[in-house]
Amino acid sequence: MRALAFGAALALSSAAYGQDVAKEIQRYRQMVAEGSPAELFELEGETLWQKPQGPKNVSLERCDLGEGPGVLKGAYAHLPRYFKDADRVMDLETRLLYCMTALQGRSREEATARVFGTADRASEFELLSAYIAGQSRGVAIRPGISHPKENASYELGRALYFHRVGAWDFSCASCHGEEGKRIRMQDLPVLYQPQYARPVLATWPAYRVSTSQFVTLQWRMNDCYRQMRTPEPTFGSETTVALIHFLTATAQGETYQGPGSKR
Amino acid sequence: MAAGPMKMRASLGAGFTEVRVLMTHPMETGLRKDADGKIVPQHFIQNLTVKVNGTTVMDAQISQAVSRNPVFSFRLKGGAKGDKIEVSWLDNHGESAAIEAAVA
Annotated active-site residue A175? The verdict is no
Best mutation target among A40, A47, A209 (most B Cβ atoms within 10 Å) is A40
Q: Mean pLDDT throughout B48-73?
A: 92
H or E element in which residue B49 lies: strand B45-52
Task: Give SS3 for B23.
Answer: strand
Q: Residue B35's pLDDT is what?
A: 87
CA dihedral (A194, A196, A199, A202) positive or negative: negative
H or E element in which residue A218 lies: helix A217-227
Choose among B1, B24, B67: nearest Cβ to A40: B24
Residues of A in contact with B74 (CB under 8 A): none
Euclidean distance between the first and the last CA atom of chain A, given in angstroms as a whole number: 45
- A99: β partners: none
Residues of B in contact with A43 (CB under 8 A): 5, 7
Inter-chain contact B24–A37, Cβ cutoff 8 Å?
A: yes
d(CA A59, CA A110): 16
Measured between CA atoms, how close is B26 to chain A, in angstroms? 7
Measured between CA atoms, how close is B97 to chain A, in angstroms? 14
Residues of B in contact with A36 (CB under 8 A): 71
d(CA A59, CA A69): 12
**pLDDT over 90 percentage in chain B:** 68
Among chain A residues, CA nearest to B72: A35
Among chain B residues, CA nearest to A33: B71
Strands (E), chain A: 81-83, 88-90, 182-183, 186-187, 206-208, 213-215, 260-262
Q: Mean pLDDT throughout B50-73?
A: 92
103-132 of A, contacting B, C-beta below 8 A: 119-120
- Taking CA atoms, A89 is separated from A245, B31, B92, in Å, by 9, 46, 49
- Our measurement of the distance from residue A30's CA atom to the centroid of its chain's CA atoms, rounded to an integer in Å, reads 20
Type of residue found at A91: D
| pLDDT-based confidence at residue B79 (cuts at 50, 70, 90) | confident
* Beta-carbon contacts below 8 Å between A and B: 31
Q: Residue A14's pLDDT is what?
A: 57
d(CA A91, CA A9): 53
Q: Residue B1's pLDDT is what?
A: 43
CA dihedral (A194, A138, A186, A30) positive or negative: negative
Residues of B in contact with A119 (CB under 8 A): 26, 68
CA dihedral (A84, A86, A91, A97) positive or negative: negative
Q: Find out whether A190 and A97 touch, Cβ atoms under 8 Å.
A: no
Type of residue found at A148: P
- Taking CA atoms, A215 is separated from A115, A208, B29, B81, in Å, by 11, 7, 23, 37
Quick check: B26 contacting A, CB < 8 Å? yes
Measured between CA atoms, how close is A37 to chain B, in angstroms? 6
Q: Residue A1's pLDDT is what?
A: 44
Measured between CA atoms, how close is B4 to chain A, in angstroms? 8
Q: Residue A13's pLDDT is what?
A: 56
Inter-chain contact B5–A212, Cβ cutoff 8 Å?
A: no
Per-residue pLDDT tens listing for chain A (263 residues): 455 455 554 454 555 666 788 888 778 777 777 777 888 899 999 999 999 999 999 999 999 999 999 999 999 999 999 999 999 999 999 999 999 999 999 999 999 999 999 888 899 999 999 999 999 999 999 999 999 999 999 999 999 999 999 899 999 999 999 998 888 878 899 999 999 999 999 999 999 988 889 999 999 999 999 999 999 999 999 999 999 999 999 999 999 998 998 88
Residues of B in contact with A44 (CB under 8 A): 4-5
Contacting residues for A51 by C-beta, under 8 A, at least 6 apart = A59
Residue A189 has φ and ψ, to the nearest 5°, of: -70, 140
